[in-house]
Amino acid sequence: MLRRILALVMKELAALWKDSKTRRVILIPPVVQVLLFAYAANYDVTDVALGIWNEDAGAQSAELARRFAASPAFHVVAAPQSPAQARQALDDKRVAAVLHLPQTFSADVLAGRTAQAELLVDARRSNTALMLQDYAANIVAEYNTDLHPTHTPLVLLTRDWFNSTLESKWFILPGLVCVLSLIMSLLISALALARERELGTLEQLLVTPLRPLEILAGKALPGIIVGMLDANIVIIAALLWFRVPLRGDFLLLEAVLVLFTLTGTAIGLAISSIARTQQQGMLGVFVIASPMIVLSGYAAPVENMPPAVEFISRADPVRYMLVAARGLFLQDMPLSVVLQQAWPMAIIAAVMLAVAGVMVRRAVA
């Protein structure tokens, strides 16, 4: 059985590599998109989730916290009571920032001393971090003016977590690993059965000793291989050329990518079992891939989406892979947090493989 599947996989890879157009599709897009997205992509954010850690019981700290809560730029979703809770909220992406007001805040303001507030910012989204700091600075400036028009009683200290230099490439390239591997695994697998139909070789495949399950495996593995190849091209470029740090476990990143490309391949096989021509298969890929990327949070934060759209995005594997990839690149995300993103992908992969298996069985029956 393994020999038959391996023979089919080699046949698929040879067919992909033999066609010069296919070779260009596999190798050129990663390089072009790395350069394009790294240098040209920009994102605007208008709303962020905020946690307020207020250790002071005075009216002055309560007033500043109220101004942050009332600002249209923020919505308060957490009230951590310790450094550990603040860190956990940032690690889990429940908040984009935490405003910390120390115990001496109100006393310093009343005594005429310069009071300090701290803003802890999740800088995995570098553009969000920059916008957030601008919002916070405006609120603090208005607070200062209302308190003492002639001098500054309050200083806001900002600390950017995970991306201290706010390099946009650190945010874009880990996301591009996910997007490009999805597109390539979808594309390769979506053309697998459609190509056999279009060339008239599907009937020849059916008279071979290969069983439907073996055909499914043989058609799936090339999509996973190509998806992993393109993902690692982006990873190598990010690490060596753009100097993006990889603070997490490289093998863990590769393992999650295998699971992710498996999901994309299963979706592509389902498309391929319906498509009658390669053109239909490619059209199906773009119809499916576009909303998956939009709903994933790659271009706009999932937290800013309407509740109904956010609920639909929970069925999008790209959403979970983006969190895992950016966390492993920039944060050294622990295994327990990675598993929180991996198990939804595993469920989606299992469901889509089952659907693809049924549809492939019908296609080859």
pLDDT > 70 fraction of the chain, expressed in percent and rounded = 87
Amino acid identity, position 91: D
Work out the average pLDDT over 54-74: 89
Question: Residue 313 gets which letter from DSSP?
Answer: G
Cβ 125 vs Cβ 301: under 8 Å: yes
Work out the average pLDDT over 55-73: 89
User: Which helix (H) or strand (E) segment is 115 a member of?
Assistant: strand 115-122
pTM of the model: 0.67
Amino acid identity, position 19: D
Angle between helices 250-274 and 317-330 (to 10 degrees): 160
- The matching CATH number, chosen from 2.60.260.20, 3.20.20.70, 3.40.1710.10, 3.10.180.10, for 48-161 is 3.40.1710.10
What pLDDT sits at residue 99?
93
**Start-to-end Cα distance in the chain:** 19
pLDDT 10s digits, 254-282: 999 999 999 999 899 888 888 888 888 88
Six-digit token string for 55: 């250790």
Of 30-34, 46-50, 280-284, 300-304, the one with minimum mean pLDDT is 30-34
Amino acid identity, position 188: I
3-state secondary structure of 166: coil
Pick 110 or 38 by higher pLDDT.
110
| Among 124, 181, 122, residue whose Cα is nearest residue 321 | 181
Strand order in the sheet with 48-54: 74-78, 48-54, 97-101, 115-122, 154-161
What pLDDT sits at residue 91?
84
What pLDDT sits at residue 42?
44
DSSP strand pairing (115-122 vs 154-161) = parallel
Of 39-48, 89-98, 105-114, 339-348, the one with minimum mean pLDDT is 39-48
User: What are the residues facing 52 on neighbouring strands?
Assistant: 99
pLDDT 10s digits, 123-152: 877 667 777 888 888 888 888 888 776 555
User: Which helix (H) or strand (E) segment is 213 a member of?
Assistant: helix 212-236
Query: What is the number of other CB atoms lying within 10 angstroms of the CB of residue 233?
Result: 21
Q: What is the largest CA-CA distance in the chain?
A: 89
190 phi-psi bin (left φ>0, alpha ψ -120 to 50, beta other): alpha
User: Which range scores top for mean pLDDT: 13-27, 36-50, 189-203?
Assistant: 189-203
pLDDT 10s digits, 204-221: 776 677 777 787 788 889
- By residue count, the chain amounts to 365
Whose tokens are 């003016």? That residue is 145
Residue 235, pLDDT above cutoff 90: yes
Residue 40, pLDDT above cutoff 50: no
pLDDT 10s digits, 92-128: 888 889 999 999 998 988 888 888 899 999 887 766 7
CA 329 and chain centroid, separation? 11
What pLDDT sits at residue 66?
92
Work out the average pLDDT over 339-358: 88
CA 68 and chain centroid, separation? 28
**What are the start and end residues of each CATH 3.40.1710.10 domain in the chain?**
48-161
Amino acid identity, position 55: E
Question: Which residues have a Cβ under 8 Å from the Cβ of 40 and sit 6 or more positions away?
Answer: none
CA distances from 15 to 177, 208, 210 (A): 25, 18, 18
CA distance linking residue 362 with residue 356, whole number of Å: 10
What pLDDT sits at residue 295?
84
CA distance linking residue 225 with residue 196, whole number of Å: 20
| Among 54, 47, 45, 63, residue whose Cα is nearest residue 118 | 54
Residue 181, pLDDT above cutoff 90: yes
Cβ 163 vs Cβ 170: under 8 Å: yes
Q: Is 206 exposed, middle or buried (0-12, 13-18, 19+ CB in 10 A)?
A: middle
CA distance linking residue 192 with residue 181, whole number of Å: 17
Q: What's the count of helices (H) and strands (E) in the chain, helices before strands?
A: 15, 5
